[in-house]
Amino acid sequence: MDKFVIRGGRRLEGEVVISGAKNAAVAILPAVILSDEPCIIENVPSISDVNICLQILEEMGADVRSVGKDAYLIDPTSINKVCVPYEYARKMRASYYFLGALLGKFNKARVSMPGGCPLGDRPIDQHLKAFSALGAEYTLSQGMIDLKADKLRGSQIFFDVVTVGATMNAMLAAVKAEGLTIIENAAKEPHIVDLANFLNSMGANIMGAGTDVIKVRGVDKLYGTTYSVIPDQIEAGTFMVAIAATKGDAIVKNIIPKHLESITKKLEKIGVNIEQYDDSMRVWVDGPLVKANIKTAPHPGFPTDMQSQIATLLTLAEGTSIITENIWEQRFRYVDELRRMGADITVNGKIALIEGTGKLMGAPVKACDLRAGAALIIAGLAASGVTEIEDIFHIERGYDCMEGKLRAMGADIEKVSVPDKPNAKSENTKAAV
Ligand code: EPZ
């Protein structure tokens, strides 16, 4: 078991280069299955969720080769299994993208239900609704989801909630279905557009990604392509907040500023200076930080995946801030850990009230999910004294060498191996986010 040890109080300076987007990569890698030829995927982040995706592809028979830094050549033509077993699915929530990709290619799929989850109830009813609309039948038994269809046919799909995963899965399943599929009340996140762009670069016919109506006209065949994953909007936002929390001054590189608008606007309101360039931003703080009210919402609203990080920044600001979490019911679990570091936060249902105390103190804490872990790193960087963060495997699922990037910006952070406690559960048996 590894942990991060952070000696706080150092300003972040210099620059950081943002990696490819986790939530785009974990959909694009399964989407390669739909191609009849090999594909090269570039700007793939080095994170454990990506490793699991690549392992699943290999396990199914695909030929996966690393072809230079952050790039993989994947030949899906040798795939001879349509099953994702529990041992993989339990480690990564996004294993559900194999359902849409396998169904779209082979008219059948067998994927273990994604493991239990620390964000509260995470239903997949909208995914199943989309597959059914396209003509597939599903059965759920012994923890496995089985899908099969004689033929997939284009259809109208109206989502009852705005859902990233089901929107992606509907596109994956519809891309080779006969005729036109219209997906309404679709999610609009940058990774939705990235998946559509990738599929179109293989010869798909998808229009409207990034709006709430996506039209997919089915094609017979998809071809090999070379495609580069977009930069990670949430990794970029996390570093922006970390720079602000340490009252630092640094450049965040390899970003798409448009994807960061809701984050940038809130940070400016809090008192953070931001200067935008074509594909980078300078972020710095030279005055007081002030309270803000934030409500999470689907894109283009403020992302739930940045909620814990900005809450941490608000503990350092003047005044009382209010955060409303509208997406995940259990996304305030990090609050107990921040309290151990001196934060004054009261949670009532989906609302958190943050009394800015202006300071945090180092403490031993535990990451309870990916973004909670990122928030604790930010807290540790800003706090006085030493912070030790356990269960960092959550952080490594989604951040590409976070400690190395922070160290290069002047942070005092190291990864330390500690022997497993007797009877401790191994990280692999814990639930995926
Ligand atoms: C994606 O999860 C992300 N994961 C999450 O990022 C992110 O928090 C979330 O979108 C929201 O932006 C990946 O992309 C792999 P949803 P997803 O379907 O697709 C309800 C991170 O930190 N819903 O958009 O699983 C659901 O309960 C992770 O990187 C249904 O009711 O989320 C939630 O309230 C964590 N039925 C809302 O929709 C369904 O069938 C949005 O969920 C599906 C979802």
For 374-422, how does the pLDDT look when each residue is reduced to its tens digit (9 = 90+)?
999 999 999 999 999 999 999 999 999 999 999 999 999 999 998 876 6
> What is the pLDDT at residue 117?
43
Which residue's C-alpha comes closest to atom 10 of ligand 1? 164
> What is the pLDDT at residue 199?
98
> In the numeric block, which tokens belong to residue 416?
């330390």
Q: Helices 164-174 and 125-133, interaxial angle, to 10°?
A: 20
Indicate whether 110 pLDDT > 60. yes
Which residue's C-alpha comes closest to atom 33 of ligand 1? 327
pLDDT tens-place string over residues 200-214: 999 999 999 999 999
DSSP annotation of 103: H
> In the numeric block, which tokens belong to residue 296?
């999470």
pLDDT tens-place string over residues 212-253: 999 999 999 999 999 999 999 999 999 999 999 999 999 999
Predicted TM-score (pTM) of the model is 0.96
Residue of 53, 83, 117, 368 marked active site: 117
Q: pLDDT band for 118, please (50, 70, 90 cuts).
A: low
Strand 108-112, strand 83-84: pairing: parallel
Distance (Å, whole) CA 231 – CA 238: 13
Tell me, in angstroms, the distance from the centre of ligand 1 to residue 165's CA.
6
Q: Helices H, strands E: what count in the chain?
A: 14, 24
Distance (Å, whole) CA 144 – CA 109: 10
pLDDT tens-place string over residues 249-268: 999 999 999 999 999 999 99
> What is the pLDDT at residue 395?
96
109 close to 136: Cβ distance less than 8 angstroms: no
Torsions phi, psi of 395, nearest 5? -70, -40
345 close to 339: Cβ distance less than 8 angstroms: yes
Active-site annotation holds for 117: yes
Q: Which of 76, 136, 86 is nearest to 109 (CA)?
A: 136
Distance (Å, whole) CA 99 – CA 92: 13
Q: Which of 91, 90, 89, 196 is nearest to 99 (CA)?
A: 89
Which residue's C-alpha comes closest to atom 1 of ligand 1? 164
Amino acid at 350: K
Residues with CB under 6 A from ligand 1: 22-23, 26, 93-94, 121-127, 161, 163-166, 187, 304-305, 327, 370-371, 398, 433
DSSP 345-365: EEEETTEEEEE--S--B--EE
425: number of Cβ within 10 Å: 9
Indicate whether 426 pLDDT > 80. no
